[in-house]
């Protein structure tokens, strides 16, 4: 099992330290490469005696919460891996370690970074090591759980990993995929958040780093509370008093005769107020508006980043909630960006979330037509259609327009929806900065599968009806009266958040994990792939020889998107002829002279090989002494892979 980075040569301690020291000084604490330091800390999820789960960080509110175990989660690894329950990070890592031990020729499993709290962030490299280095092959990168509670995403990465390993050597397509390409898998990029989510009733969105969400100078001072002690944070509803009706903004959805579903309306048109379960800890009249953390790892990327709320000095510009103090301020996001920039062989990325069922891609701040190269947009649109054909998602497209306007009319105002920007967003980094195919797909749909009431729309009411008919009604809790210490009489109930609203019920889990994984595999199968057509040596007059090489990109993606060319992430494909340097010394008196190309570096720059395109290159060499020369023809492509072929010149 590869626990340290396979690229790092540590056989020479002095050399290794010289190489490591600059990176350690610049990048600490987010190391770009794997680490061997053993973390002996006992994490709260492992402390069986503790009744409370304690979160690190200095905050104005509490840092400890009652522990909770959910029937929907597997906390200890079983004999077999099934997808009828969710899996904690410990269980996922158990299987990754097991597979790494069982398949050392396919797998390296290593620590790539550490989280805010200091937990290891693990990653797997999956490729046939006997067919070449992982960095010499076209690559794809798949990531889950950037957002703490969006755990269907990690299950999809886990399902994909299991599928690839179990089918290698059995399925010719999967076997060829891992023989010729590299799949990088990071199932959990936010171990702090997901452990809190799975071991307590808390529902934090992203990093657990203390944050002042409401700009009152206090940090995490007003988290949610499980008031009725059932281990689940629901909603609270309170009927408005006569003198509050001008502020009331909820009604009971008139379509639902059971009175279960609430509908938001404009202030003054409602009869109820709706809150998340808990109390107003800071006395500001708002409930649970500043819980644990609050930074959004998916708004922390460097491309088109904007300041967090309150960060615009004019009050007239754009800000982005959850953006963090500066781009890549969070180690979890920084580790992804730095790792990918050091692995430019990656052409395809999917960093997944929940819960709008959609293949979500760039741009996030402008329309596709105005900001993307037409050639690149055509590729994305083809993949959009491929994705929907595999997953059945109702939407695929960009964040700015398609996502923001997927519902054509606002259910609150009745106005047409319009494009809306998201800043510091992963897909924009992936395309505009990194020049790759990058999706941020959203899994699950809150039970909104079918038009259950036949009104031509699929919405929350259809989810409620689906839950009753197909999910045993487990997705909603009947409203139950509760004597609130501040609000007086309220009712607690509504949608179950963790395993219905945000993530699929366990019975639905594998379908969603599998379908998303199959789309990701389908994209990996389209990676660019340079292959030799021919390498030949032809004898000319005057002891001269012509070396002709030809190759084809057999993949369905080019070796470089147009955007990758613009931002210089990908170099041109290059052909080199490697001959013993001693034979080339002496200029006119050299034993061997490379006549063509005439440039000093003797490198043929072949541009960028498009999908399905074939190219040729020719060297001309003169042997100034009777001899046989062994040489190596090398084809170097940043994202199309590395090829070499041994040849013999002369001697015939």
The token pair at 127 is 């490729």
Residues linked to residue 415 through DSSP beta bridges, in sequence order: none
Q: Is 208 part of a structural domain of the chain?
A: no
**Number of independent structural domains in the chain:** 2
Structural domain including 539 reads: 530-649
- The whole-angstrom separation of Cα 348 and Cα 559 is 11
What is the tens place of the pLDDT at every residue in 304-317? 999 999 999 999 99
Instruction: Answer yes or no: is 518 within a domain.
Output: yes
Residue ranges for the chain with pLDDT beneath 70: 1-39, 652
Burial 480-501 (b: 16+ CB within 10 A, else e): eebebeeeeebbbbbbbbbbbb
Q: How many whole angstroms separate alpha carbon 455 and alpha carbon 458?
A: 8
User: Domain check: are 563 and 593 in the same one?
Assistant: yes
* Model pLDDT, residue 41: 86
Whole-number pLDDT of residue 185 = 98
Look up the CATH number of the domain holding residue 541: 2.60.40.10
Within a domain: residue 86?
yes
The strand pairing partners of 488, in sequence order, are 484
Question: Do 56 and 160 belong to one domain?
Answer: yes
**What is the pTM assigned to this prediction?**
0.93
Beta bridge mates, 416 = 409
The CA-atom distances, in angstroms, between 531 and each of 132, 555, 570, 618, 634 are: 14, 10, 18, 17, 12
Minimal CA–CA distance to 320: which of 432, 405, 425? 425
Residues 237 and 479 sit within 8 Å (Cβ to Cβ): yes
Q: Are residues 534 and 519 in the same domain?
A: no
Task: Tell whether 188 and 54 lie within a shared domain.
Answer: yes
**What's the confidence (pLDDT) of residue 31?**
40
Asked if residue 552 and residue 517 are part of one domain, the reply reads: no
The verdict on residue 539 lying in a domain is yes
For the chain, what's the residue count?
652
Question: How far is Cα 611 from Cα 607, in angstroms, rounded to an integer?
Answer: 13
Determine the pLDDT at residue 146. Answer: 95
Q: Are residues 178 and 48 part of one domain?
A: yes
What radius of gyration do the chain's Cα atoms show? 28
Q: What is the pLDDT of residue 21?
A: 39
The mean pLDDT of the chain is 93
Same domain, 517 and 550: no
CA–CA dist 241, 279 (Å, integer) = 19
pLDDT at residue 38 in the model: 52
Cα gap 298→333, rounded to integer Å: 8
Tokens for 591? 């034993």
In this structure, are 428 and 552 located in the same domain? Answer: no
Query: What are the backbone angles phi and psi of residue 44, rounded to the nearest 5°?
Result: -60, -30
The reply to whether 514 and 576 lie within a common domain is no
Tokens of 109: 């499993």
pLDDT of residue 12: 43
pLDDT at 619: 98
What is the pairing mode between strands 64-66 and 52-54? antiparallel
CA distance 125 to 106: 8
Show which of 496, 524, 552 is a domain's final residue.
Answer: 524
Token readout for 341 is 């920039």
Q: Residue 209 falls within a domain, yes or no?
A: no
pLDDT for 457 equals 86
Residues 570 and 514 in one domain: no
The pair of structure tokens assigned to 124 is: 């797997």
568 & 519 share domain: no
- Burial class for 562, CB neighbours closer than 10 Å (0-12, 13-18, 19+): middle
Distance (Å, rounded) from C-alpha 271 to C-alpha 238? Answer: 9
With residue 646 as reference, give the H or E element that holds it.
strand 641-649
CB 259 within 8 A of CB 298: no
Does a structural domain hold residue 298?
A: no
Beta bridge partners of 358: 395, 442
- Would residue 302 count as lying in a domain? no
Q: Dihedral, CA atoms, 574, 580, 581, 587, nearest 10 degrees? A: -90
- Strand 139-143 vs strand 346-351: parallel, antiparallel, or unpaired? parallel
Q: Are 176 and 525 in contact (CB under 8 A)?
A: no
Asked, for residue 95, whether it belongs to a domain, the answer is yes
Tokens of 102: 């069982």
Strand order in the sheet with 262-264: 262-264, 250-252, 272-276, 235-239, 488-495, 476-484
Cβ 358 vs Cβ 401: under 8 Å: no
What is the dihedral angle through the alpha carbons of 559, 561, 566, 570, rounded to the nearest 10 degrees?
-30
Note the pLDDT tens digit of each residue in 629-645.
999 999 999 999 999 99
Measured distance CA(140)–CA(164) in Å, rounded: 13
Spatial contact of 376 and 546, defined as CB atoms under 8 Å apart:
no
Question: What is residue 18's predicted lDDT score, i.e. its pLDDT?
Answer: 42
| 518 and 423 fall within a common domain | yes
């Amino acid at each position: 099992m590869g626990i340290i980075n396979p690229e790092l040569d540590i056989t020479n301690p002095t050399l290794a330290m010289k190489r490591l020291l600059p990176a350690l000084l610049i990048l600490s604490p987010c190391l770009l490469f794997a680490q061997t330091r053993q973390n002996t800390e006992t994490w709260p999820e492992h402390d069986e005696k503790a009744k409370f789960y304690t979160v690190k960080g200095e905050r104005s509110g509490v840092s400890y919460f009652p522990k909770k175990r959910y029937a929907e989660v597997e906390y200890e690894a079983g004999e077999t891996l099934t997808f009828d329950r969710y899996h904690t990070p410990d269980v996922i890592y158990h299987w990754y370690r097991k597979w790494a031990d069982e398949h050392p020729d396919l797998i390296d499993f290593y620590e790539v970074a550490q989280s805010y709290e200091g937990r290891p962030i693990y990653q797997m490299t999956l490729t046939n090591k006997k067919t070449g280095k992982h960095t010499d092959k076209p690559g794809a990168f798949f990531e889950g759980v950037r957002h703490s509670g969006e755990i269907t995403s990690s299950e999809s990465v886990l399902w994909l990993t299991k599928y690839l390993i179990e089918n290698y050597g059995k399925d010719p397509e999967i076997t060829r995929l891992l023989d010729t390409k590299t799949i990088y898998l990071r199932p959990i990029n936010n171990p702090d958040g997901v452990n809190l989510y799975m071991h307590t009733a808390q529902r934090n969105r992203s990093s657990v780093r203390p944050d002042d969400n409401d700009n009152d100078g206090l940090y995490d001072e007003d988290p949610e509370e499980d008031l009725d002690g059932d281990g689940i944070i629901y909603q609270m509803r309170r009927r408005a008093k006569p003198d509050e009706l001008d502020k009331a903004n909820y009604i009971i959805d008139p379509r639902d005769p059971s009175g279960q579903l609430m509908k938001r309306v404009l202030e003054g048109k409602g009869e109820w107020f709706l809150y998340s379960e808990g109390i107003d800890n800071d006395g500001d009249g708002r409930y649970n508006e500043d819980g644990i953390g609050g930074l959004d790892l998916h708004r922390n990327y460097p491309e088109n980043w904007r300041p967090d709320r309150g960060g615009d000095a004019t009050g007239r510009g754009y800000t982005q909630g959850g953006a963090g103090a500066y781009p890549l301020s969070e180690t979890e996001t920084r580790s992804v960006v730095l790792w990918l920039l050091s692995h430019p062989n990656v052409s395809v990325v999917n960093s997944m979330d929940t819960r709008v069922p959609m293949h979500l891609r760039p741009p996030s701040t402008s329309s596709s037509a105005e900001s993307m190269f037409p050639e690149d947009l055509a590729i994305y649109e083809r993949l959009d259609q491929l994705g929907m054909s595999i997953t059945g998602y109702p939407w695929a497209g960009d964040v700015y327009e398609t996502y923001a306007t997927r519902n054509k009319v606002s259910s609150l105002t009745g106005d047409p929806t319009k494009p809306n920007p998201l800043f510091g967003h992963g897909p924009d980094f992936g395309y505009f900065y990194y020049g790759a195919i990058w999706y941020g797909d959203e899994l699950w749909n809150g039970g909104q599968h079918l038009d259950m009431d036949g009104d031509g729309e699929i919405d929350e009411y259809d989810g409620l009806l689906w839950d009753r008919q197909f999910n045993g009604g487990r997705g909603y809790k009947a409203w139950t009266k509760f004597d609130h210490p501040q609000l007086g009489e309220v009712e607690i109930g509504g949608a179950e958040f963790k395993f219905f609203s945000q993530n699929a019920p366990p019975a639905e889990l594998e379908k969603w994990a599998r379908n998303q994984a199959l789309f990701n595999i389908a994209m990996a199968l389209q990676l660019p792939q340079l292959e030799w057509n021919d390498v030949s040596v032809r004898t000319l007059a005057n002891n001269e020889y012509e070396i002709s090489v030809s190759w084809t990109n057999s993949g369905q993606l080019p070796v470089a998107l147009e955007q990758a060319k613009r931002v210089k992430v990908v170099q041109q494909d290059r052909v080199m002829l490697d001959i013993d340097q001693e034979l080339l010394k002496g200029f006119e008196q050299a034993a061997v002279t490379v006549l063509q190309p005439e440039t000093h570096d003797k490198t043929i720059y072949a541009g960028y090989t498009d999908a399905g395109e074939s190219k040729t290159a020719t060297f001309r060499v003169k042997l100034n002494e009777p001899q046989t020369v062994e040489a190596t023809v090398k084809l170097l492509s940043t994202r199309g892979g590395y090829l070499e072929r041994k040849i013999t010149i002369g001697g015939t």
